[in-house]
Structure 1
Amino acid sequence: MPVTTDAAARPPLDETRLVGNPALPPDLEVELHATLGSTNARAAERAREGAAEGLVVAADHQTGGRGRLDRTWETPEGTSLTFSLLLRPTVPAASWPWLPLMTGYAVAKALRAGGVEAGVKWPNDVLVGDRKLAGILVERIETPQGPAAVVGVGINVGMAAEELPVPEATSLQVEQGEAADRTDLLVEVLSGVREAYDAWQAGGELGAQRLAESYAEACVTVGQQVRVELPGGETLEGTAVGIDAEGRLQVQPAAGSGGGEQVRAVGAGDVRHVRPASS
Structure 2
Amino acid sequence: MLDSPYTDLERPPLSEAALNRAVVRPGSLWTRLAVVGRTGSTNADLARAAREGAGEGAVLIAELQDSGRGRLGRVWTAPARSSLTFSMLLRPAVPAARQGWLTLLVALAAASAVRRLANVDVRLKWPNDLLIGERKLAGILAERVEGAVVVGMGLNVSLRPAELPVPTATSLAIEEAECADRDPLIRGVLREVETHYRDWVAAGGDADASGLRAAYIAASATIGKEVRVELPGDRVLRGVATGVDVSGQLVVDAGGAGHALSAGDVIHVRPAQP
**TM-score computed with the length of structure 2 as normaliser:** 0.90
Q: How many residues align?
A: 261
Match of 1:155 in 2: 155
**Alpha-carbon distance, 1:105 to partner:** 0.5
For residues 126-205 of structure 1, the aligned pairs below 5 Å read 126-142=130-146, 147-176=147-176, 180-204=180-204, 205=206
Q: Partners of 2:158 and 2:168 in 1: how far apart?
A: 16
Q: Partners of 2:178 and 2:24 in 1: how far apart?
A: 24
Match of 2:268 in 1: 276
Per-residue CA deviations over 1:109-149 (Å, capped at 9, x if unaligned) read 1011111210110000000010000000000001xxxx000
CA RMSD in angstroms comes to: 2.0
**Alpha-carbon distance, 1:266 to partner:** 0.8
Q: Percent identity?
A: 47
Contact 1:118-1:126 within 8 A present in 2 as well? yes
Per-residue CA deviations over 1:229-272 (Å, capped at 9, x if unaligned) read 1112211111101111011111111xxxxxx412111112xx1x
Identify if the C-alpha distance between structure 1 residues 53 and 203 changes in structure 2 by more than 3 Å, giving closer, same or farther: same
**Alpha-carbon distance, 1:203 to partner:** 2.1
Q: Is the deviation greater in 229-238 or in 93-102?
A: 229-238
Structure with higher RCO (Cα < 8 A, 6+ apart): 1
**Alpha-carbon distance, 1:74 to partner:** 1.1
**Alpha-carbon distance, 1:51 to partner:** 1.1
Identify if the C-alpha distance between structure 1 residues 77 and 230 changes in structure 2 by more than 3 Å, giving closer, same or farther: same
1:195 counterpart SS class? helix
For residues 24-35 of structure 1, the aligned pairs below 5 Å read 26-28=28-30, 29-35=32-38
Q: Partners of 1:113 and 1:155 in 2: how far apart?
A: 15
For residues 102-141 of structure 1, the aligned pairs below 5 Å read 102-114=105-117, 115-141=119-145
Contact 2:200-2:207 within 8 A present in 1 as well? no
Contact 2:59-2:89 within 8 A present in 1 as well? yes
Identify if the C-alpha distance between structure 1 residues 276 and 7 changes in structure 2 by more than 3 Å, giving closer, same or farther: farther
Contact 1:7-1:179 within 8 A present in 2 as well? no
**Alpha-carbon distance, 1:277 to partner:** 2.7
**Alpha-carbon distance, 1:179 to partner:** 6.7
Q: Partners of 2:214 and 2:163 in 1: how far apart?
A: 36
Structure 1 residue 85 and structure 2 residue 92: aligned?
Answer: no
Contact 1:126-1:133 within 8 A present in 2 as well? yes
Gaps of 5+ in 1: 1-5, 254-259
